[in-house]
Amino acid sequence: MSDPIRGQTAICGLGITEMGKVYGHDASWFAGESIRLAVEDAGLQKDDIDGLLVNPGITGMMGTGISIPLQGYLGLRNLRLLNHMNSFGATASAMVQYAAFAVHHGMANYVACIFSDAPLQQGGSAGAAYGGAGRRGPTGMASLMPAFGFYGANTSYALAARRYMERYGVTNNDLGRVSVTQRRYAVDNPHATMRQPLTLEDYHNSRWIVEPFHLLDCCLVSNGAVCTIVTTAERARDLKSSPAYVWGMGQGHPGNFPHAEVEVGTTSGATIAGETAYKMAGVGPEDVDICEFYDCYTYTVLRTIEDYGLAKPGDAIGLYPEDPADPEAELPAINTGGGQLSSYYMWGMTPISEGVIQARGSGGDRQIEKNDIVLCSGNGGTLDTHGTLILSPNAN
């Protein structure tokens, strides 16, 4: 049985800025552009926005990105709801969830949820943009892990991936199948950064980052912003663009594996979050048509597929063709815009934005015909935090 809130709220506006190596603008500028595009997409006026939820990105965490003062930059004077949130890659899902509860219970009418980031500097590398923030001379106990070469997400996810691969017999070639599949979708995505075709040979020839990850196992780093506007289903029906109705929501937060006694690589918060969202939506894994999953690494996609009950442990790779570069290969409806590996890295807003596009039926050449149930995930830390949204083109 579904929850009474199912289908009572919707994402009515979507704003996606230019993405990638876009220089000369800070995170606040990108945020302003994304809300302008989202308001235009919904057919609203800026003054209609009476709620603002902000996810700051890596630049915000370093004190140079967006936060609550973004309200003043955007000139939003009628806010009934304002907050700055950060559960890393799970934040975007959480923002939409809290916005949905707010509009459903009358706390606001139109809530803008914004992720904006601008870590890339002209002449600098993606590694410097992200990895550099974690190498600023920790002291005491915090210095022990870097002393042994353990730096940031690449290293922690490499350990998780290696554990998963050893347990289930998954190979690097299997990880490459995920990467190449998503590039196939990105070729048809006008928002994607990486649109040139990719082969398994290209994947294997890409340089090692930290074993078992090649470069093409790892997500992009992007400058840009995404804004979603959440309102009630009743209001959304009369607006300019087709709504993506929110059917299910959930969160699951197992914690950081060195501290939470979680065996690295063997589970994620998707298990708990998915159970909650499925119950709210009144659906199960067998009903899902399209998956938009957080794919900071190729391994993460396989882990997430299994934790949502879409495949048995170790069997997720069976959903992918042996050679996804083959034009005749049938691709799974997973990360249909190219994901963070090939389209753009806006933390949890990457899967949500493509989920909205697919639910609306506006995906062009990459549109999946059957789009009744779209499952979106957000993942933060090293599988520490998780958020789930289930979207649909149908109110009920």
Question: Looking at residue 260, what is its pLDDT?
Answer: 61
294 is catalytic: yes
The 3-state secondary structure of the chain reads CCCCCCCCEEEEEEEECCCECCCCCCHHHHHHHHHHHHHHHHCCCHHHCCEEEEECHHHHHCCCCCCCCHHHHHCCCCCCEEEECCECECHHHHHHHHHHHHHHCCCCCCEEEEEEECCCCCCCCHHHHHHHHHCCCCCHHHHHHHHCCCCHHHHHHHHHHHHHHHHHCCCHHHHHHHHHHHHHHHCCCCCCCCCCCCCHHHHHHCCEEECCEEHHHECCCCEEEEEEEEEEHHHHCCCCCCCEEEEEEEEECCCCHHHHCCCCCCCCCHHHHHHHHHHHHCCCHHHCCEEECCCCEHHHHHHHHHHCCCCCCCCHHHHCCCCCCCCCCCCCCECCCCHHHHCCCECEHHHHHHHHHHHHCCCHHHCCCCCCCEEEEEEECCCCEEEEEEEECCCC
Question: Looking at residue 38, what is its pLDDT?
Answer: 99
State how far the Cα of 316 lies from the Cα of 164, in Å rounded to an integer: 12
Tell me how far the alpha carbon of residue 39 is from its chain's centroid. Answer: 21
Question: Looking at residue 149, what is its pLDDT?
Answer: 72
299 is catalytic: no
Question: Looking at residue 304, what is its pLDDT?
Answer: 98
CATH superfamily for domain 9-121+220-392: Thiolase/Chalcone synthase (3.40.47.10)
State how far the Cα of 208 lies from the Cα of 243, in Å rounded to an integer: 42
Taking the chain (396 residues) in consecutive chunks of 10 residues, what is each chunk's mean pLDDT? 88 98 96 98 98 92 81 94 96 98 98 97 74 60 69 89 96 99 98 98 98 98 98 98 98 79 80 98 98 99 98 98 95 98 99 99 98 98 95 96
Catalytic residue among 130, 278, 294, 299: 294
Tell me how far the alpha carbon of residue 156 is from its chain's centroid. Answer: 19
Tens digits of per-residue pLDDT, 125-180?
766 666 655 445 667 766 767 776 777 889 999 999 999 999 999 999 999 999 99
Contact 174, 317 (CB under 8 A): yes
End-to-end CA distance of the chain: 13
State how far the Cα of 215 lies from the Cα of 108, in Å rounded to an integer: 43
Question: Looking at residue 267, what is its pLDDT?
Answer: 82
Question: Looking at residue 2, what is its pLDDT?
Answer: 72
Question: Looking at residue 151, what is its pLDDT?
Answer: 74
